[in-house]
Amino acid sequence: MLNLNHRTTYGGGMAAPLNCRESIFNISNRAPVSPDAGAAEKHDEFRQVLGRIGCGQVVVGRDRVIEATGTAQTILEREYHVTGRESLYGALKQLFHRAGAQMPVGSTSWIATSTKDGITSLVHQIVNASPDETRTVILLDLDAHPEPAPATLRLLFGFTAAETQLAIELARGRNLLDIARTRKLSRTTVRSHLASLFIKTQTGRQAELVALLGRVAVLP
């Protein structure tokens, strides 16, 4: 059953409203006015969340990639078989060309791509999102399976180690037979773990369970 007894208190009250020209994904390498000792850790945590749901971020300068998350590099390398920041910049330009879009200075752009379905599309773009010459690109891998964090599954649902592993394998799109073979378990054992997952998540079908796991993947 979903455990809502664990609460987190955020200091400073509610966050201020977002400027309509800014994006929650618009993370640049500019230093804050008042350095925060935990800022880098929070930044990395947010990137990990993006990676688990198939999103990668690239920060681009005038003619080069300044920063790219691991997920973004994986997407670009998969699409164009390139390595290195200079090559990543060229791959990014090709991706925009394939989407029939430009990459204006100061913009934040969202591009969805799927190798399996042959999709490359500019989903949304904010032209004046940044006051400087950097450009931020969010790449969404439509072929990715959102994967929740093991600690979050244990915290929310009280999964055992075996149940957590099964849940993650299901979230990755694997079927029960393959999971049983890989982990050298009997079908009866795997089905018993699955029945426990249904009870603890209050779901009744495997598709419903996987959908829930996908939503949980956005949590740290």
Q: Which of 141, 166, 201 is the last residue of a domain?
A: 141
DSSP per-residue string spanning 29-53? SPPPSS--TTHHHHHHHHHHHHHHT
User: What value does the mean pLDDT take over residues 96-104?
Assistant: 94
Mean of the per-residue pLDDT values for the chain? Answer: 82
- For residues 49 and 132, membership in a common domain is answered with yes
HSE-up (13 A, CA, CB side) for residue 139: 33
- For residues 156 and 118, membership in a common domain is answered with no
The CATH number of the domain holding residue 197 is 1.10.10.10
Question: 79 lies in which domain range?
Answer: 40-141
- For residues 125 and 46, membership in a common domain is answered with yes
- For residues 125 and 45, membership in a common domain is answered with yes
- For residues 154 and 204, membership in a common domain is answered with yes
Number of domains present in the structure of the chain: 2
- pLDDT tens by residue, 76-92: 888 787 766 668 899 99
- For residues 110 and 203, membership in a common domain is answered with no
Residue 167: pLDDT band with limits 50, 70, 90 = very high
- pLDDT tens by residue, 114-163: 988 889 999 999 998 888 889 999 999 998 888 899 999 999 999 999 99
Residue 31 lies in a domain: no
Q: What angle do CA 132, 50, 84 make, to 5 degrees?
A: 65
Task: Identify the three-state secondary structure at position 186.
Answer: coil
Residue 107 lies in a domain: yes
- pLDDT tens by residue, 28-54: 333 344 445 565 666 677 778 788 888
- pLDDT tens by residue, 2-26: 444 444 333 444 333 333 333 334 4
Residue 176 lies in a domain: yes
* pLDDT on residue 17: 36
For the whole model, what pTM was predicted? 0.65
Taking residue 45's Cβ as centre, other Cβ atoms within 10 Å add up to: 12
